[in-house]
Amino acid sequence: MGSAVERTDEHVREYLIYRGFTNTLKHLDNEIKADKEKGFRVDKIIDQLLQFIQSFDLSGLKEYWLYLDRRLFCRLEDVYRSTVNKLRTSLYRYYVINTIQVIRNLEKTQEFFQKQALELQGQAEWRDWFILPFIPAPEQNPAFSPYFSRQWSDTFLVSLHNFLSVLFQCMHILLPVLLSFDAEVQKTTSLTEENEQLCQMVRLKPISSVLLFLAPAEACIDVPDSSAHTRTSGGVGEGGGLSAEQPFIKLSQEEYGEHHSSIMHCRVDCSGRRVASLDVDGVIKVWSFNPIMQTKATIMSKSPLLSLEWATKPDRLLLLGSGVGTVRLYDTDAKKNLYEMNIDETHPRILSLACSPSGSSFVCSAAALSRSGSVESVPRLPIPVSGQLLLWDTKTVKQQLQFSLEPEPVAINCTAFNHNGNLLVTGAADGVIRLFDMQRYESAMSWRAHEGEVYSVEFSYDENTVFSIGEDGKFIQWNIHRCGVKQSEQLLPQDATGPFILSGYSGYKQVQVPRGRLFAFDSEGQHVLTCSSSGGLIYRLTNGDPALESVLSLGGHKAPVVTVDWCSAVDCGTCLTASMDGKIKLSTLLAQKS
């Protein structure tokens, strides 16, 4: 319970810092320092009692024990009152023995009996103790010698420690909601880890050994011999059975749980060493996952943050787009802001950022406020709001130009460069995909791609096509050499395209429109990772009908996944899936070469 209180205190402190409640934070820190319950840390409480004993502060010892009695012990059933009384008696005896053992100062010993005479003289367990100050060598007296032994003192302290520990564990029925929530999180995490270990054990068993656990009627299945070479370690396909020739094996899945609200963006830097994640409260976490998962920096902003992007050169820099018309350049190593650029007051919502592979410039999509004046505009308006697409120089921190958006200025939701930065593809709120020539800084082509908004766009591996996901729920591949020509089309489930819905108790419902990347490709561009209600889904691109073939469900989430990313290195790839409950799952995959 002590660790839960510490974590909850830290969450409250983080919230007060984020809200700017500095006076409240100071009062909280002062209260925590003066906390007599020591955050329900048993070791701290015993240390405080020992401090009073060792300093011969009898008044402090009595007041502190009385406080514990009023605050904690009084909640116990009457059957435990005798245990509390025995512990108090032993505590006072420990004090008396300490006055004789440490300083052999009879004044302190006599002082104890004088002050406690009225309270103790009627108690049978103290009747013989009043002669203690007058015995020349009490440690040699048969009646008192056991109390001077190390064994007695150790036994008493252990008994007190165990009693307090059990008491705090049994106080769960009295916990406030915050502490109960922490306990539930710890329980869920423990069960998830145990379940993952069991799943790994099942995956590592050969098919023949798994069939031994089936009923006789179910076991009448032909087990393939070694020549068939069926791979079963990868995972479960869409149908729920073991799929042959799995392209990936899920080696492990870890959780990053430092966010406390729904994730908007989650991106790996170009070196694959760090991750930046942004939640709807405007909190950004910069963290690493190799060799261990560790938070490197926490960035908080009083103004809402809507977008982020890693710089390519140097890769330690992070671009942060706000809802008040500014873009910040943040150094994740130095943990400080380098620049803050004012984009446009009339278009304050920075919806998308994309850094050129050369590192010399970045593209910024700025949009006007919705009619309601909010920066999030939920739900989206049927009529697209006005927007701008701007190119900024990273070194001079100045705007280079504004792109022309035909037929009218519209909010650009998503942007992506090709490998050398010569082409830029954008998806807009009017359902149009626009392809820009970055050498001439002009639109090369545009076409209506979706009914409704375009949520996410990416170049294919060979960069001859562009993939997009839109509000109509379609995943479409477009030929960029033939304007507006589809190469493939696949209708995705709603939980892959949004809007994402998280339902709770008493009719509570949270709705989030897509903001981050909705799909990501592996290193060879043959597989794509998408969102789902329970985790990431990996599909194989077929170039046929259907366009996608489900090959692996990553799972692990209890809330809808709203954004994904895929970082590949050699044969091991890392999939990031972020959900509305603030959890980010990091799944490590091993590619199986056929």
Q: What is the pLDDT of residue 445?
A: 93
What is the Cα–Cα distance from 413 to 354, expressed in whole angstroms? 11
**pLDDT greater than 80 at residue 425:** yes
Examine residue 379 and say whether the peptide bond preceding it is cis (omega within 30 degrees of 0). yes
Q: With bands split at pLDDT 50, 70 and 90, how would you rate the model's confidence at 180?
A: low
Q: In which band, very low, low, confident or very high, does the pLDDT at 81 lie, cut at 50, 70 and 90?
A: confident
Backbone angles phi, psi at 84, to 5 degrees: -60, -45
Instruction: Please answer whether residues 468 and 428 qualify as being in contact, where contact means their C-beta atoms are separated by less than 8 angstroms.
Output: no
Average pLDDT (212-221) is 37
Instruction: Write the pLDDT tens digit of every residue in 28-76.
Output: 888 877 777 777 778 888 888 888 888 888 888 888 888 888 887 877 7
Residues making up the chain, counted from first to last = 594
SS3 (DSSP) at 279: strand
| 380-406 tens-digit pLDDT | 445 678 999 999 998 888 999 999 998
Instruction: Outline where DSSP puts E strands in 172-257.
Output: 248-256
Residue of 152 and 200 predicted with greater confidence: 152
**Separation CA 285–CA 205 (nearest Å):** 38
pLDDT grade for 376, boundaries at 50, 70 and 90: very low
Amino acid at 136: P
Q: Which of 55, 64, 72, 36 is nearest to 164 (CA)?
A: 72
Question: DSSP per residue over 119-138, as a string?
Answer: HHTT-GGGGGGGGGGG-S-G
Burial class (CB in 10 A: 0-12, 13-18, 19+), 505: exposed
- Residue 470 near residue 477, CB atoms below 8 Å: no
pTM for the model stands at 0.59
On the question of a cis peptide bond just before residue 224, with omega within 30 degrees of 0, the verdict is: no
d(CA 246, CA 576): 20
**Is residue 444 within 8 Å of 427, Cβ to Cβ?**
no
Written as six digits, the tokens of 529 are: 């990772």
What would the two tokens of residue 362 be?
């970045």
Highest mean pLDDT among 132-136, 265-269, 373-377: 265-269
Give the chain's end-to-end CA distance (angstroms, integer): 51
Question: What CA–CA distance (Å, rounded) separates 227 from 231?
Answer: 12
**Helical (H) or strand (E) element with 185:** helix 177-204
Q: In a 3-state reduction of DSSP, which class is residue 354?
A: strand
Per-residue confidence at 378, pLDDT binned at 50, 70, 90?
very low
pLDDT band at 367, cuts 50/70/90?
very high
Amino acid (one-letter) located at 419:
H
Please report the sign of the dihedral spanned by the C-alpha atoms of residue 489, residue 493, residue 496, residue 500.
positive
Check residue 239 and give its pLDDT.
Answer: 36
Residue pLDDT, tens place only, 230-250: 333 333 343 333 344 678 888
| Beta-carbon count within 10 A of 134 CB | 10
Judge residue 367's burial from the number of C-beta atoms within 10 Å of its C-beta, 0-12 exposed, 13-18 middle, 19 or more buried.
buried
pLDDT digits (tens, 9 = 90+) for 308-355: 999 987 778 999 999 999 999 999 988 888 889 999 889 999 999 999
Residue 266's pLDDT is what?
A: 96
* Exposure b/e, 544-559, CB count within 10 A at least 16 = b: eeebbebbbbbbbbeb
- Judge whether residue 558 has pLDDT over 80: yes
Query: Would you state the pLDDT for residue 105?
Result: 64
Structural domains present in the chain: 40-174 (no CATH), 411-491 (2.40.10.480)
Average pLDDT score over residue span 512-527: 92
What distances in angstroms separate CA 477 from CA 86, 417, 484, 514, one per listed residue? 78, 16, 10, 19
Mean per-residue pLDDT for 519-535?
92
Give the separation between CA 332 and CA 286, rounded to whole angstroms.
Answer: 7
Q: Residue 41 is which amino acid?
A: R
Q: Are 534 and 555 in contact (CB under 8 A)?
A: yes
Mean pLDDT of 496-505: 84
The pair of structure tokens assigned to 140 is 């040699």
Q: What one-character-per-residue DSSP string does 520-581 give?
A: EE-TTSSEEEE--SSS-EEEEE-SSSSSEEEEEE----SS-EEEEEEEEETTEEEEEEEETT
Least reliable range by pLDDT among 84-98, 122-136, 475-489, 549-563? 122-136
Kind and range of the H or E run holding 203? helix 177-204
165-200 burial code (b ≥16 CB/10 A, e <16): eebbeeeeeebeeebeebeeeeeeeeebeeebeeee
> Which pairing describes strands 527-530 and 519-521: parallel, antiparallel, or unpaired?
antiparallel
Q: Could you check whether the bond before residue 216 is cis, i.e. omega within 30 degrees of 0?
A: no
CB 252 within 8 A of CB 589: no
Residue 216 has which token pair? 């006789």
Contact partners, residue 28, CB within 8 Å, separation at least 6: 9, 12, 13, 16
Q: Is the pLDDT of residue 193 over 60?
A: yes
